[in-house]
Amino acid sequence: MGAVAVASRLRSPAQEPIDSDAAKVNGGPVSSLRVCMVHYSPFEVDSRIQRQARALAERGDEVHCVCLEGPATLAFGAGAIHLHPVSAPKAGGGFTSYLSGNLRFLAGSFRRVSALHREQRFDLVEIHNMPDALTFAALLPKLGGAPVILNIHDTFPELFSTMFGRPEGHPLVRLVGLEERASCALADGLVFVTDEARERLRTRGVTKPRTRVVMNTPDERVFGETRPPEPLPVEGPLNLVYHGGLAPRFGVELLVRAVPRVAAEHSQVSLDVYGAARNAPIVDLAAKLAPHSVRVAPEPTPLEDIPAKLRRAHVGIVPTLEDEFTRLLLPVKLLEYVHMGLPAVVARLPVIERYFSDDEVSYFTAGDVESLVEAIERVLRDPAAATERAVRAQRRLVDIAWPRQRAGYLSLIDELAGVHANG
């Protein structure tokens, strides 16, 4: 699909409440940009990529997403987002299948990024891991002087170790660590989801002068203004909700096992699961264990449909298991529950505890079905206290809300693009 012309306009970084010296790079405004994003996922279900691509397009930039979806052109504000599909199976299964899927997407995205760059030069390329090695898909623009950002959604060595049951010192895990360092070395800037992830890479010797932490906070353009928590129903149906990944580490199986036990005492309690559920094992497990109390959406749920799903729910559940990878996570689903005013039942994990106290969410011991059942029942026994926790949790979002995250992200883009424009 060819590039769609977007009217060029001037944009001063000073129009954004930025937290860097980006506005000083040129001593004046930065013109609208042509940005490429590469991500091994469908655009419609990846909320982080949607938020950031939208932020660029709304101010007049032209964004090209090389991904698992398209072709399509989406208009936002004064700019547009163009989706360019790469034919590659989503990585899954065993190590061989996982490696094969990643390599095929890397090869396909390299060809597509190079072709788009030859058609009209990119001002900046942003790579969203995983894998980190997708940074090499930007090699041609990089050699032509375009700055490259590696946006680290997940710390790859920890995830690889937990996915394939390899200890930290295993040769394959060390190889993934080398891949991480090589990819970061090629990048001109790094973006992290949390301070903890940035610190973890720093301990491995990965640092850059230009980095940002851009947290996965809800975009109010999609979710609307924060929704005040409402009292839970004293009688009648009470709907629990989970939305997000269905990989074992996210603990959805634990949740499906817990809900029938809760429903045995509270017959009108039910659970809705929204995720990429095509042929997922969780569908069969739910049908076997809880055919009347657990509903699993049969198809992936687009991001723009999630707010309506959450408005129909009463309690949000974050059942994440604990391992070296998940200890670094602050789940976006939790922040979306809080934004939408839902009381949250949450696995006790280190980074989550840093942001939310026991007075703000209902914790349970990660991986413990008994503890999860008790946490849900605690909410049901005292709905007023659950609503009060939701009110306090929502106050936590003020300091990390998306407008502030958006400003920091755009300032990094403008800083790098400004340096490039001035040689």
Concatenating the DSSP letter of every residue in 176-212 gives HHHHHHHHHHH-SEEEESSHHHHHHHHHTT---SSEE
Which residue's entry shows tokens 């700019």? 79
The token duo for 178 is 């080398």
The pLDDT of residue 230? 93
The pLDDT of residue 96? 85
From the centroid of its chain, how far is CA 260? 30
**What is the Cα gyration radius of the chain?**
22
Q: Residue 240 and residue 238: Cα distance in Å, rounded?
A: 7
From the centroid of its chain, how far is CA 48? 4
Q: pLDDT digit string (tens) for 335-383?
A: 999 999 999 999 999 999 999 999 999 999 999 999 999 999 999 999 9
Q: pLDDT digit string (tens) for 298-341?
A: 888 888 999 999 999 999 999 999 999 999 999 999 999 999 99
269 Cβ contact list (under 8 Å, min separation 6): 237, 238, 239, 240, 259, 262, 263, 293, 376, 380
Q: pLDDT digit string (tens) for 92-105?
A: 667 888 888 999 99
| Better pLDDT: 229 or 165 | 229
pLDDT of 140 higher than 50: yes
Q: Residue 20 and residue 129: Cα distance in Å, rounded?
A: 25
| C-beta of residue 118 within 8 angstroms of C-beta of residue 31 | no
Q: pLDDT digit string (tens) for 201-240?
A: 999 999 999 999 999 999 998 999 999 999 999 888 999 9
| C-beta of residue 273 within 8 angstroms of C-beta of residue 257 | no
The pLDDT of residue 421? 57
95 Cβ contact list (under 8 Å, min separation 6): 164, 172
| C-beta of residue 134 within 8 angstroms of C-beta of residue 182 | no
pLDDT of 11 higher than 70: no
Q: Which amino acid is residue 398, in one-letter code?
A: V
The pLDDT of residue 4? 32
Pairing of strands 269-274, 294-296: parallel
Domains delineated in the chain:
32-217+401-418 (3.40.50.2000), 222-399 (3.40.50.2000)
The pLDDT of residue 62? 97
Q: Residue 44 and residue 49: Cα distance in Å, rounded?
A: 9
112 Cβ contact list (under 8 Å, min separation 6): 66, 84, 86
The pLDDT of residue 197? 95
Q: Residue 192 and residue 125: Cα distance in Å, rounded?
A: 16
Q: How far is CA 93 from CA 38, 326, 348, in A?
A: 23, 20, 28
Nearest of 117, 124, 139 to residue 183 by alpha carbon: 139
Strand partners, 64: 36, 82
Q: Which amino acid is residue 173, in one-letter code?
A: V
Angle between helices 383-396 and 332-339 (to 10 degrees): 110
Q: pLDDT digit string (tens) for 47-57?
A: 999 999 999 99
Percent of the chain that is helix, strand, coil (3-state, to 5)? 45, 15, 35
The pLDDT of residue 349? 97
* Percent of residues, the chain, with pLDDT higher than 70: 90
